[in-house]
Structure 1
Amino acid sequence: MSANHETRNGLWIAAASFVLWGLMPLYWHLLKNVPSLQIVLHRIVWSALLVAAWLAWKQGRGWLKATLARPRAAWMLALSGVLIAFNWGLYIWAVNAGHVVESSLGYFINPLISVVMGVVFLHERLNRVQWLSVAIAASGVAWLTWQYGQPPWIALGLALSFGLYGLIRKLVAVDAVSGLAVEGVYLFLPALALLLWSETHGAGGFGGGYGIVADGLLIFAGVLTALPLIGFAYAVRRAPLSVVGLMQYIAPTIQFLLGVLFFNEAFDRDRATGFVFIWIALAIFAGEGLWRARRQAALPAAA
C-alpha cells in the first residue's frame, strides 16, 4: 500500500472518529431517561470488556503485563482513568441536562488549556502568537463569566479534566488503546460493583427496567467509546499530526450546531460574543500551528 493511500485512509478515519464524537449528544439523548451515573458505569464496563478482548486477540494475554511494565504506568493510568471517568460523567450529565452548547465550549477551549498545561508542567515555551491566542480565549471566558455571573463551570470542568488526562497520557507514553484498556481494568470492578448494588437496591433498571432498547444502547455505548479512539490512534500513525490536530475541531463544531439547531438551546448575543472571542483565538492558534508545520516541512526541501 502506497504512503499516499495510507495517509488518505488515516485522514478519512480521523474525520469519521471526530464526526462520531461530535454526534455523541444524539446518542446520550436517546438514554435521557437513564440516570447519568448509570450510563457512565455501563460505558466503563462494556468498553473495558470490548477493548481488553480486542487487545487479547491482537497481542495475546500478556498485553496487560507489558503495558504496566512501563515506568510509572501503573499509578498514572489509575489517575488518568479517574479523570476520564469524571469527564465522561460530566459530559453525559451536561448533555441530558440541556447544556450541549456549553459542553461544546469545553472542547473548543481544551487545546488552549492543554497548551497552558504544557507551559506549567512541562516547561514548554510559547511564542507571541500562541500567547495572544491564550489571552483572547481567556477574555472570552471572562466575558461569559461577567455576563452570567459565574464562570462556565461545565466547559471549564470538561476542558480541565480532559487536559489533565492528556497531560498524564503524554507523560506515561503508552499507546491510546492499551492505555484505555488499563484504565478500564482499574475502573471495571468498582463500576461493576456499583451497577450490581444499584440493581439489588432498586436504583438500577438494566434487564427490563429501562426497556430492551435502552439496554441495547447501554451495551453499545462501549463500542462507541472504543471505536473513535481506536480510529484516532490508527489515524495519527498514518496522517500528519498537524492536520489531524486541526480536524479535532470537527467534534465540538458538530456538538455546538446540535445544541443550537437540534436541542434548541439558548444562544443569545452575549453568549455569542464570548464564543466569538474563543473562535478567533482558535483560528489564530490553528493558523499559526499550520504555518509553522509547513515551514518546518519546507526546510529539508530547501536544504
Structure 2
Amino acid sequence: MGQNDNFKKGFASALGAYMLWGILPIYWKLVGNVPAKEIIAHRIFWSLVFMLAVVLITNRKQQMHTELLQLLKKPASLLALVAGTVLITLNWFIFIWAVNENRVIETSLGYYISPLVSILLGIIVYKERLSWGQGIAVSLAAAGMLYMIMHFGSVPWFAISLAISFGLYGLCKKIAVLTPITSITLETLIVAPFALLYLSYIHFQGMTSFEGLSLTSALLVGSGIVTPIPLLLFANSANYLPLTIIGFVQYLAPTISLLIGIFLYNEAFTAIHSVSFGLIWAGLFVFSLSSIRFSGQEKRVPMLSKDSR
C-alpha cells in the first residue's frame, strides 16, 4: 500500500471516529428516558462483550496475555490503567447526564478545551515549556471561560469536568502503554463486575429499563458497539496520519455536537456564548498553527500514540 493510500485510509478512519463522536448526543437522547447510571452500566457491559468478540475474531488473545503480564510487573502502569478506567467512566457518565439535561452545547465546550487541558497537564506533570502559540492559546481559552462565568454568573461545571477528566485520562493512557484493543478491553473488564452487579440489582428490584425486544433494549445493547468503534477507528488513524492533521480533525466532533445542540435540540446560543466560543476558537486556531510550525521543524512528523479516547 502506497503512502497516499495510507493517508487516505488514516484520514477516513479519523473522519469516521470524530463524526461518530460528534453525533453521539443524538444516540444518548434516544435513551433519555433511561437513568444515566443504567446507561453507563449497559455501556460498560456490552462494550466488554464487543471487545472480547474483537479479541477472539482478530486472534489477539496471546498479545493481550503478554501485555497483561508485562503490566502486572509495573505497578505504576497498572495503577494508571485503573485510574484511567475510573476517569473515562466518570467522563462517560458526565457526558450522558449533560446531554440528557439539555447541555449539549456545554459538552461541546468541554471537548473544545480538552486539548488545552492536556497542555497544562504536560506543564505540571512533565515540566514541559509552553511555546508562544500554546501560551496564547491557553490565555485565549481562559479568557473565554472567564467571560462566560462573569456574564452567566455560574461556572460551566459540565464542560470543565469533561475537559479535566478526559485530559487526566489521556495522561493515564500515556503512562500505561498498551495497544488499543488490549487497553479498551482491560478498561471495560475492570469496571464490568460493578456494572453487572448494578444491572442485576435494578433487575431484581423491578427498576430496569431493559425489557425484552424493545427499541430501548436494542439501543442499550448498541451502546456497547458505538463506544469502542470510534476508539478503534481513531487508533487506526494514528498509525497513518501526522499529528497536525489529526489536530485539525479532532475539532470536528465538538463542532458537530455544538450544531446539534443549537439546531436539533434548540439550545440557547447567546451573544455571551458567541464571545466565549470565539475566544476559545481563536485559541485553538493559534494552537493549531503553532503545532504546524513545530512539526515542520521536526525531521520526521510526529505521530499520535495509539491511545484511545
Within 5 Å, which residues of 2 pair with 1:261-280?
Answer: 261-280=263-282
- Alignment partner, residue 30 of structure 2: 30
In structure 1, C-alpha distance between the alignment counterparts of 2:260 and 2:61, rounded to whole Å: 42
Q: Which amino acid aligns with 1:134?
A: V
* Higher mean C-alpha displacement, 267-276 vs 64-73: 64-73
In structure 2, C-alpha distance between the alignment counterparts of 1:61 and 1:290, rounded to whole Å: 39
In structure 1, C-alpha distance between the alignment counterparts of 2:264 and 2:209, rounded to whole Å: 28
Aligned to 1:149, which of 150, 153, 174?
Answer: 153
- Alignment partner, residue 96 of structure 1: 100
CA contact (8 A) 1:64 1:182 kept: no
Query: Does the alignment pair 1:10 with 2:10?
Result: yes
- Alignment partner, residue 182 of structure 1: 186
CA contact (8 A) 2:110 2:161 kept: yes
CA contact (8 A) 1:25 1:255 kept: yes
Query: What stretches of structure 1 move > 6 A for 4+ residues in a row?
Result: none
Map Cα deviations across residues 152-193 of structure 1 (whole Å, 9 max, x no partner): 100000000000000000111112221111111101111011
Aligned to 2:134, which of 101, 105, 130?
Answer: 130
In structure 2, C-alpha distance between the alignment counterparts of 1:64 and 1:14, rounded to whole Å: 24
CA contact (8 A) 1:106 1:158 kept: yes
Map Cα deviations across residues 7-40 of structure 1 (whole Å, 9 max, x no partner): 1111111101100100001111111111111111
Aligned to 1:283, which of 282, 285, 289?
Answer: 285
CA contact (8 A) 1:56 1:63 kept: no
Aligned to 2:295, which of 287, 293, 301?
Answer: 293
In structure 2, C-alpha distance between the alignment counterparts of 1:153 and 1:204, rounded to whole Å: 29
How many angstroms does 1:297 deviate by? Answer: 5.0
In structure 2, C-alpha distance between the alignment counterparts of 1:203 and 1:260, rounded to whole Å: 33
Q: Which amino acid aligns with 1:138?
A: A
Q: Which amino acid aligns with 1:260?
A: I
Map Cα deviations across residues 108-136 of structure 1 (whole Å, 9 max, x no partner): 00000000001001111111221111011
Aligned to 2:91, which of 87, 91, 114?
Answer: 87
* Higher mean C-alpha displacement, 52-61 vs 277-286: 52-61
Cα-Cα RMSD: 1.5
Structure 1-normalised TM-score? 0.94
Query: Among the aligned pairs, what percent are the same residue?
Result: 34
Q: Which amino acid aligns with 1:216?
A: A
Q: How many pairs were matched up?
A: 297
- Alignment partner, residue 251 of structure 1: 253
- Alignment partner, residue 202 of structure 2: 198
In structure 2, C-alpha distance between the alignment counterparts of 1:64 and 1:4, rounded to whole Å: 31
How many angstroms does 1:60 deviate by? Answer: 4.3
CA contact (8 A) 1:48 1:188 kept: yes
CA contact (8 A) 1:67 1:73 kept: no
How many angstroms does 1:295 deviate by? Answer: 3.4
* Higher mean C-alpha displacement, 223-232 vs 62-71: 62-71
- Alignment partner, residue 306 of structure 2: none
- Alignment partner, residue 75 of structure 1: 79
CA contact (8 A) 1:140 1:275 kept: yes
Query: Residue 117 of structure 1 aligns to a residue in which SS?
Result: helix
Q: Which amino acid aligns with 2:43?
A: R
CA contact (8 A) 2:78 2:176 kept: no
How many angstroms does 1:195 deviate by? Answer: 0.5
Gaps of 5+ in 2: 302-309
How many angstroms does 1:282 deviate by? Answer: 0.5
Map Cα deviations across residues 249-299 of structure 1 (whole Å, 9 max, x no partner): 000000000011111001111121111111110111011111221333599
- Alignment partner, residue 42 of structure 1: 42
Q: Which amino acid aligns with 2:23?
A: L
Query: Residue 62 of structure 1 aligns to a residue in which SS?
Result: helix
Gaps of 5+ in 1: none
Map Cα deviations across residues 235-260 of structure 1 (whole Å, 9 max, x no partner): 10011122112210000000000011
Aligned to 1:108, which of 97, 106, 112?
Answer: 112
Q: Which amino acid aligns with 2:39?
A: I
